Amino acid sequence: PFAAESLRFARHRCFQREVEIEVEAVDKTGTFLGTLTMNGGRFNLGVELLRAGLASIHPSFQPERHAGGEALQDAQDAAKLARACLWKDWSPEAEAAKAAATAAAAAVAAGPAAAAGPAEVVVLGVTEVVSGCRFFAQRVEGSRANWLFQQLQDLTPKAENSAFEPKRGALVAGQFTGDDCWYRAVVTESPRADAGTVKVFFCDFGNGEALPPSRLRVLDPSLVSLPPLAHLCTLSYLKVPGPAEDFGHQAAQCLNHLTGGRALQARIDQCERHPTNNAWEHDATPEWHLTLGYTPKLEKTLDSPVGDEDAEDVTDEEEAGEPSVNEQMLAEGFARVEKRAVKKPAAKVLLDVQEGARKARMGIWEYGDLDSDDDEAAPAAPGAWGRRR
């Protein structure tokens, strides 16, 4: 698309004019690669094509490693914001989702070599508990949360709001009623004239709210491309009652108590290949499966071979370490180990904790063993006269 327009633009600006060409490289076919400028360097054809939206930067190009690379990147960014030509349907949300999908595909392509290495360990802060095993969390280390918060408070009040009409899926700035501060938010439902409010999802924290239009503003373009800071997570290897099931509410309260107000070290046991873009939906696919409150001591103990001389010197207290949140949910009787996970090495400790909760009749084990899991075969339907087949 726009090939003819690009050719017309180049001919109109450069044909029959004196130009300067700086050759940086030659490809396999002998084609010169470089920069074309005119008027003493004041006109750069590559920059102007990008600014007009008639060209795009090659995916393998790294602006920081080339002279004038930043100018090319700035020109393309300007064309995106202006929705010029090639970028007429561009959306920052779609670009962020595509980048995440590309990163996930690269991780999958790494295959067994990546799986053989140690699992990634991160420090997280839980920002919103959805249910007994689903929650939103932010990275504590290397996060831009403080910078983003300050930028939102400085730039949002200056935004023009007169002709602003929020649409479903749009990324906007929303003023949270809890503290009257501005945060990035996604409009989750098309606004209705009779409702008087707009439902939004605060994508950097994981909570939602219905706000009047007066509390919404156009988001500053410089804050659009930053990916959401909140990641939808679930506790690895656990099956927890849902919010509408018995002990579901207590399980959510327990998880909130165990995670609230503190930073926790976590091991990412699994990353979903295709995490959902609509993280606010009740059936959204979690991005990370975590062992929350993970301690390296525990991992070392599990990996120590039988008869390791160093392992013999470890006391029972040191061997156990501090129980993970996953273990504590099991100990309180608000979770059980998934059947598909029982053969995994990491599930051995969890199964021992579960057995202790079962014997003590904690939580979901109050009345003895539970019924069969959902993945087991359902009983046969009644036959004629109500008799079982």
Q: Which pLDDT score is estimated for 140?
A: 87
Has residue 114 got a pLDDT over 50? Answer: no
- pLDDT tens-digit map of 3-49: 899 999 999 999 889 999 988 877 777 788 889 999 988 999 999 99
Has residue 99 got a pLDDT over 80? Answer: no
Q: Is the dihedral of CA 124, 125, 128, 134 positive or negative?
A: positive
**b/e for 91-100, b at 16 or more Cβ within 10 A?**
ebbeebbeeb
DSSP bridge partners of 124 = 139, 264
Distances (CA, A) of 360 to 9, 251, 267, 339, 364: 78, 17, 29, 21, 11
Proportion of the chain above pLDDT 70, given as a percent: 80
pTM of the model: 0.61
- Maximum average pLDDT range among 33-37, 171-175, 364-368: 171-175
Q: Which pLDDT score is estimated for 142?
A: 66
Q: Would you tell me how many other CB atoms lie within 10 Å of the CB of residue 142?
A: 7
C-alpha distance across the termini of the chain, in Å: 64
Q: Please, which contacts does 245-249 make with residues 24 or more away whose CB atoms are closer than 8 Å?
A: 246/364, 247/333, 247/334, 247/363, 247/364, 248/131, 248/132
Has residue 135 got a pLDDT over 80? Answer: yes
Residue 301, judged by CB atoms within 10 A of its CB (0-12, 13-18, 19+), counts as middle
Q: What is the mean pLDDT of the chain?
A: 81
Residue linked to tokens 């998880």: 255
Q: Which pLDDT score is estimated for 231?
A: 93
Distance CA 370, CA 198 (A): 42
Has residue 347 got a pLDDT over 50? Answer: yes
Has residue 311 got a pLDDT over 70? Answer: no
DSSP 8-class letter at 288: E
- pLDDT tens-digit map of 60-86: 777 777 778 888 988 998 888 888 898
Q: Taking residues 324-329, report their average pLDDT.
A: 94
Distance CA 157, CA 154 (A): 7
Predicted confidence band of residue 315 (pLDDT cuts 50, 70, 90): very low
If you write DSSP's letter for every residue of 76-143 in order, what string do you get?
A: HHHHHHTT-GGGTT--HHHHHHHHHHHHHHHHHHTHHHHHHSPPPEEEEEEEEE-SSSEEEEEESTT-
Read off φ and ψ for residue 258, nearest 5 degrees: -75, -25
Distance CA 149, CA 143 (A): 11
Q: Taking residues 223-243, report their average pLDDT.
A: 91
Distances (CA, A) of 241 to 186, 199, 327, 375: 28, 27, 16, 15
Distance CA 63, CA 46 (A): 13
Q: Which pLDDT score is estimated for 162?
A: 66
Q: Is the dihedral of CA 239, 340, 264, 114 positive or negative?
A: negative
Q: Which pLDDT score is estimated for 321?
A: 64
Q: Which pLDDT score is estimated for 262?
A: 85
Give the amino acid at 224: V
Contact predicate 215/156, CB 8 Å: no
Predicted confidence band of residue 327 (pLDDT cuts 50, 70, 90): very high
The two three-digit tokens of residue 136, written as one number: 């939103």
State the Cα torsion 240-245-247-251 to the nearest 10°. 40
- Maximum average pLDDT range among 29-33, 116-120, 147-151: 147-151
